[in-house]
Structure 1
Amino acid sequence: MLKTNSLQRPALATRAAGSETIRRASRMLAWALLGLLLFGLNTILAELAHNAGIVTHVFTRTLLWSVVPYLFAFVLLHRSLHLPAMEGNSLVGLAATFPFVALLFVFASFHIEYSRGALLLGYVTTLVWIWIGYRRYVQNYVPLFGYADPQTLEQLEAIITMPGAAPPSPTRFEQIGSLEDARHCDGLMVDRSTTADPERTRQLAQYKLSHVRMYSVERVGEMLTGRVGLAHIDENFFDDYAAHYLYGYLKRAIDILAVVCLAPLAVPIGLAVAFVIRLETPGGAIFRQERVGLFGKPFIMLKFRSMGVDANAMAQFAARRDPRVTKVGRIIRKYRLDEVPQLWNVLAGHMSLIGPRPEQAPMVEEFSETISYYPYRHLVRPGLSGWAQVQQGYVGTLEETVTKLSYDLYYVKHCSFALDLLIAVKTVRTLLTGYGAR
């Protein structure tokens, strides 16, 4: 249940007016610039050590190179501030690690001499500094949202309490009655479905002109849960989706490159899995099934067979401890090894590495008739792993499917390089722990 807070006015009066999202970004920017002093200090100490004959000039030069991934790490973190703060640890580790791995790749590709010690020092400095800043200004801060219409809390609770959903980020709420109250909030939560009247319109206009940030209930729900409210799609849904159009081309190039790089590892693993499947049960090791892909076009998806030969004849939900699954099938499902053949689907363009999981054609037809906005999930290419998989796992009921759709549409709306990297990191955790397998 959502609870409102009655906060003391003197404490609130010290807060600056404006958007908490903007405030987060400005604080992290100032923190990033302050961190450059650490690199300056490291460089001065490195130069003194070089003059003393302790380190070579390469050490100092590598430290200077480390400033580039340091700044890129903050850019990457800035691009992901819209994600729920509960993802903080994954975001910080990802933002700090990826740029330094990229720099290491540049050094190796162009045969640039570098110091491993200096690169490690730069990475640790970046990781620690970002972690301190994020926890101080983002993760540990509990935002306060004001509301004028009591029914907005009921709508928000309907978004937050969906079956099978992960818990939301902590938040405070307070009913406001004046402009002064609104100025002390990080944002004003507005019910867009409320019938407009002249008095309400004038009041909202006054808030807007006073630089009070206003959010729809659906937007607040997205920020707290990483899901899209399905009561009705936010008016910015298609605008946000269109903004990621060019990223689709880069994503396709990354998919092809990743499959080529993974092939030397995936081929021997695939051969071993196919061998043990054939040893346990008769029949082919590869299972083919029609799934629905980009823009609703059907394609044949490949998987390693994890059930009996005729077990998958009918489209149905996967159940916990499904009796149709073989002993080998249970193992390969737990660690997602049954999905190795789908790398071919990625190479062929039917799928992507990251995206909503493709559903069986009969189930898509049923869900399109019974669940509002379900076809919107086909606006992006389906993937081996997706936002719903790492947040929720497999689903087994129609109600959980609705929750899964809210995650999938969040991905469609916010598809980005930062979000894909976060999903990739959480997918590795799934592979190591078997989380969500059935």
Structure 2
Amino acid sequence: MFNKHKVLEKMDRSAWGGGESWAASGQALDTRYERRHSRWYEQCLMGMPFHFIVGLPAVVMVPSLVVHGEGFWRDLPPGLATTLWAVGAAFLITLFVLHRMTRFPGTQAVVYVVPLVSAVFALTWALLLGVAPVDERVLWGGYVASLLWFLVGYAAAQRFRRPRFALVPLGEARHLTETEESRLYRLEVPRLGAQRIDGIVADLRSDALNHEWMRFLTKCMLNGIPVYQIKQIDESRTGRVKLEHLADTELTSLLPSPLYSACKRGLDLCGALLLLPLLAPVMLATAWAIRHDSAGPALFVQQRMGHRGVPFRIYKFRSMYCDMKGKEFASGEDDPRITPVGKIIRKYRLDELPQLLNVLKGDMSFIGPRPEPVDLSQWYEKDIPLFSYRRVVRPGISGWAQVEQGYAAEVDDMAIKLQYDFYYIKHFSLWLDVLILLRTLKTISTGFGAR
């Protein structure tokens, strides 16, 4: 007897994304559907090959031609060969990081081109300084060429490669709406016609998904068009993992990589040791302003719930009056307990700077879920199932929930924050941390999420 749920569960685990090899082997059905941007010239022009074939030679060679003329390759000036290799490496590193970052929701790569290219070329210049001769004019030319290439390229991709999905309007998929990042084409019947799309979105666990729709989805898969379960698209669009979508076995798969956890601890330690002396003048000036603004110590120390449920003492610059009582958390920008200096340091996150000491001690990381006060954490655990699971990774100074949602304190807001934290744990990686770091710098400059 045909068991649809077992078949769907098996197909869902395989992500329905491997159909291109089936179609290539000649097993496609009579009525062929074509995936959007699947033709060879489209893949070359709109994918990574174009960056390698056209972008890399242009960024490496054009600045040299401008600076040294056409005959530079016959008699290489001192340091030019090293500089060309450095420009090429910086271009490829930037390309790789941007490519990995664009997998995450709400990421418009063009926004991060300037800071990322600047950081990579600055690091490249610092590594070469005093080690090998450098042609600085060519290095600057490569930097400008890389900026122009990525700004124009990703701006064009953002405009012309907006994903287009066909929606099977059954089950939970009926409630899916179109966003600025992707377009939806609602299917009235199980047929695409001449429409070219990037994928099919369906609720594969819906009882309304009959045999006719199943045959249609199979035909799409055989022709190289991926079929996505609704929760995959929902997570990729919102950056949140809905807790009601968690299967019984999915919690065990949300364990962070031990290898990256160890590497991240090393990066945190190096970063804290580098930043503490650089930011010491800012921290001293902030402490002086706090002491002269209101009575009380410059530092605020509080017990927070840490990694794997172990409490620790967190250090922050004091931003409230010492003689005023209230809730455990700030109720908003107009909270009367916040001092004039406190409003400024909260807006630009200067109150978090002493947490570099917590990073050094190993209590915290630069990136991770924000730690909650012990009493507040116990209160949340009574109302929000799985709240304590966010402690499977080290808490952070900044996190995915902070850059996406801003500050949250009430239970309803914390439930959404927990969904963001689960997304971070599920996609725990260097690339997501780099993206959060860049968004945090943007947050500091704009003051979004101040509380």
TM-score grouping bracket, smaller chain normalisation? 0.7 to 0.9
Aligned mate of 1:58, from 79, 89, 92:
79
Structure 1 residue 374, shift from structure 2 partner: 2.5
Aligned to 1:303: 316
CA displacement 1:304-351 (0-9 Å, x = unmatched): 111122546742453231111111211211121111111111111111
Give the letter for the 1:56 counterpart. Answer: P
* SS of aligned partner of 1:66: helix
Q: Does residue 230 of structure 2 align to residue 217 of structure 1? A: yes
Which stretch has the larger CA shift, 371-380 or 288-297? 371-380
Closer, same or farther: CA 272–46 of 1 in aligned 2, 3 Å: closer
Alignment match, 2:136? 116
**Residue in 2 that maps onto 1:264:** 277
Give, in angstroms, the shift of residue 384 of structure 1.
0.8
Tell me whether 1:31 sits opposite 2:43 in the alignment: no
Aligned to 2:35: 16
Give the share of equivalent positions with the same residue, in percent.
32
Q: Is residue 415 from structure 1 mapped to residue 428 from structure 2 by the alignment?
A: yes
In structure 1, what is the Cα distance between the partners aligned to 2:352 and 2:321? Answer: 17
Aligned-partner Cα distance in 2 for 1:155–1:376: 29
Give the CA deviation at 1:214.
1.7
Alignment CA distance shift 1:341-1:135 (3 Å): same
Contact 1:182-1:188 at 8 Å conserved across structures? no
Separation of aligned partners in 2, 1:250 and 1:214: 35
Separation in 1, partners of 2:193, 2:259: 41
> Residue 337 and residue 132 in structure 1: after superposition, are their counterparts in 2 closer, same or farther (change >3 A)?
same
Partner of 2:412: 399
**CA distance in structure 2 between the aligned counterparts of 1:25 and 1:378, rounded to whole angstroms:** 43
Contact 1:241 1:415 in 2 (8 A): no
Q: Give the Å deviation of 1:194.
A: 1.6
Q: CA deviation at 1:19?
A: 8.6
1:342-401 Cα deviation digits (max 9, x unpaired): 111111111111112111222222222322442332222111111222222212433322
For residues 405 and 171 of structure 1, do their structure 2 counterparts lie closer, same or farther at Cα, with a shift above 3 Å needed? Answer: farther
Does 2:174 align with 1:174?
A: no
TM-score scaled to structure 1, two decimals? 0.83
Alpha-carbon spacing, 1:118–1:234, altered in 2? closer, same or farther (3 Å): farther
- CA 416–105 in structure 1, closer or farther in 2 if over 3 Å, else same: farther
Name the structure 2 match of 1:195.
207
Distance, in Å, in 2 between the alignment partners of 1:174 and 1:197 is 15
Q: Distance in 1 between the 2:259 and 2:206 partners? A: 36
Segments of structure 1 that go 5 or more residues without pairing to the other structure are 1-12, 161-166
Alignment CA distance shift 1:44-1:18 (3 Å):
closer
Q: Show the counterpart of 1:3.
A: none
SS in 2 for 1:36: helix
Indicate the residue corresponding to 2:125 in structure 1. Answer: 104
SS in 1 for 2:436: helix
CA 1:248–1:321: 2 relative to 1, 3 Å: same
Aligned-pair CA distance for 1:17: 5.3
Distance 1:332 1:245 in 2: 35
Shift of 1:172: 2.5
Aligned-residue Cα RMSD (Å) equals 3.4
Instruction: From the superposition, tell whether residues 210 and 326 of structure 1 become closer, same or farther in structure 2 (CA, over 3 Å).
Output: same
In structure 2, the gaps of 5 or more residues are 1-31
SS of 2:197's equivalent in the other structure is coil
Q: Is 1:186 matched with 2:206?
A: no
Aligned-pair distance for 1:169?
Answer: 2.5
Cα distance change on mapping 1:54 and 1:307 into 2, 3 Å: farther
TM-score by length of 2: 0.80
Q: CA separation of 1:341/1:260 partners in 2, compared to 1, >3 Å: closer, same or farther?
A: same
- Code of the aligned partner of 2:201: M
Q: Distance in 2 between matches of 1:235 and 1:186?
A: 30
Q: How does 1:19-418 map to 2 (within 5 A)?
A: 27-33=46-52, 34-38=54-58, 39-43=60-64, 48=69, 56-84=77-105, 86-108=107-129, 111-138=131-158, 140-156=160-176, 169-175=181-187, 177-178=189-190, 180-181=192-193, 184-195=196-207, 199=211, 201-233=214-246, 241-242=254-255, 244-311=257-324, 314-418=327-431
CA displacement, residues 227-267 of structure 1 (integer Å, 9 cap, x when unaligned): 33333237896587447432222211111111111111332
Higher mean C-alpha displacement, 345-354 vs 262-271: 262-271
Give the 3-state SS of the residue equivalent to 1:189 in structure 2: strand
The CA deviation at 1:138 is: 4.2
SS of 1:277's partner is helix
Contact in 2 for aligned 1:152/1:217 (Cα 8 Å): yes
**Whole-angstrom CA distance in 1 between matches of 2:382 and 2:413:** 16
Distance 2:311 2:325 in 1: 18
| CA distances 1:266-294 after superposition (whole Å, capped 9, x unpaired) | 32322222222222332222211111122
Q: Deviations over 1:133-163 (max 9, x none)?
A: 2222345422111222334345545xx9xxx
